[in-house]
Amino acid sequence: MEDVLDQQSQPLGQDGESEIVTEDATFVHGEPPQDANGLPKVDSKVEVLHEKVTKQIIKEGHGPIPSKYSTCFLHYRAWTQSTRHKFEDTWDEQRPLEMILGKEKKEMTGLAIGVSSMKSGERALIHVGWELGYGKEGSFSFPNVPPLADISYEVELIGFDETKEGKARGDMTVEERIGAADRRKMDGNALFKEEKLEEAMQQYEMAIAYMGDDFMFQLFGKYRDMALAVKNPCHLNIAASLIKLKRYEEAIGQCSIVLAEDENNVKALFRRGKARAELGQTDAAREDFLKARKFAPEDKAIARELRLLAEHDKAVYQKQKEIYKGIFGPTLEPKPKQNNWLIVIWHWLLSLFYRVFRRERHKAD
């Protein structure tokens, strides 16, 4: 596993196995729908998985389905069917659930049946009868579920690990967890190179799942460096994928996670600047690029982005200049006064008549 400093010293245009850079171009993947409070509307076929469990696919997944004792990582939100009350949402908490099929909690039995039929990346609406949920008693703690409550789950299976013994993350040593995460990261890199971006992000997220906040909080010294050497590149490669998919807000979020840990990370600054520029946040983008240039002054990609921002600003200025010119109109220059010969002649005649009149009157006197 490479040292964090080695990763930082690599130019943006070149990357080793630890990270992938796209010049053109916490859990965020599996972004919740716009209406995160209500049940999603699904028109797909209803699959009967069990007498008390049905499933409708919202988004197709890929690959095989997990077997018994697989360690599955999933996001979900849950509602009671009678009241439509949402009582749990891992997307809001940004903390996916880890579930070992066959060893799940009793109240998760119905959910586990649904998950066992899903492929990685699949999103589905799963309906579970109360018998395979929180039962007759319900739950009066957290989550708060009334008695005899049928449950609806919106679930996304991020991915799973096939393990014979069903070993949970909490039972792994530090080296085992970092090693499992590193393997996922490498799988993600291979998928990224094949332009399978969604699948690549799932692998990176699986890697990050092995190193949650509770785990990272316990690490220090070389173990923390080892974990960050896997975790940060996963966030950055998710950001690169999201930029390619034009999901710029999410890319900014991934880069900000890295910058919260390492405020001078050049690649995080560069990619966040790229995403901000695409959203029209030119001042914030310039700030990121200028800071990145301080630590990589010779990097051509950073110089190119700053040049593009300067050209953009110039174009905006010219456009505004034209707009204001159109509003106020061209500057009016004073026109030379033209003599009206008709008026001059008329005044001359009046003057002549007045002089003749005075002369005749003088003679009369």
Region 176-190: what's the mean pLDDT? 90
* pLDDT reported for residue 349: 75
| Residue environment code for 274-305, b if the CB has 16+ CB neighbours within 10 A, otherwise e | bbbbeeebbebbbebbebbbeebeebebbeeb
Q: For the residues of 137-158, what is the DSSP string, one character each?
A: T-BSSSS-B-TT--EEEEEEEE
Angle at 16 between CA 24 and CA 232, to 5 degrees: 75
> Which is more confident, 97 or 363?
97
* pLDDT reported for residue 244: 95
pLDDT confidence band for 36 (50 / 70 / 90):
low
* pLDDT reported for residue 147: 93
User: Could you tell me if 226 and 1 are in contact, meaning their C-beta atoms sit under 8 angstroms apart?
Assistant: yes
* pLDDT reported for residue 17: 46
pLDDT confidence band for 238 (50 / 70 / 90):
very high
How many whole angstroms separate alpha carbon 227 and alpha carbon 224? 5
* pLDDT reported for residue 204: 93
pLDDT confidence band for 38 (50 / 70 / 90):
confident
pLDDT at position 205 over 60: yes
* pLDDT reported for residue 29: 43
User: Poorest-confidence range of 11-15, 119-123, 273-277, 303-307?
Assistant: 11-15
User: Poorest-confidence range of 7-11, 164-168, 261-265?
Assistant: 7-11
How is residue 281 annotated by DSSP?
A: -
pLDDT at position 23 over 50: no
CATH code of the region 170-312: 1.25.40.10
Query: Chain-wide mean pLDDT for the chain?
Result: 83
pLDDT digits (tens, 9 = 90+) for 301-333: 999 999 999 998 888 777 777 777 666 555 555
Give the class (CATH, top level) of 47-161.
alpha beta
pLDDT digits (tens, 9 = 90+) for 244-262: 999 999 999 999 999 998 9
* pLDDT reported for residue 334: 56
User: Poorest-confidence range of 209-213, 283-287, 339-343?
Assistant: 339-343
> 3-class DSSP state for residue 355?
helix
pLDDT at position 27 over 90: no
pLDDT at position 34 over 60: no
How many helices (H) and strands (E) the chain has is answered by 12, 7
pLDDT digits (tens, 9 = 90+) for 214-231: 788 888 888 889 989 999
User: Could you tell me if 309 and 282 are in contact, meaning their C-beta atoms sit under 8 angstroms apart?
Assistant: yes
pLDDT digits (tens, 9 = 90+) for 105-150: 999 999 999 999 999 989 999 999 999 999 999 998 888 899 999 9
pLDDT at position 30 over 60: no
* pLDDT reported for residue 363: 65
Which residue ranges make up each domain of the chain? 47-161, 170-312
> 3-class DSSP state for residue 79?
strand
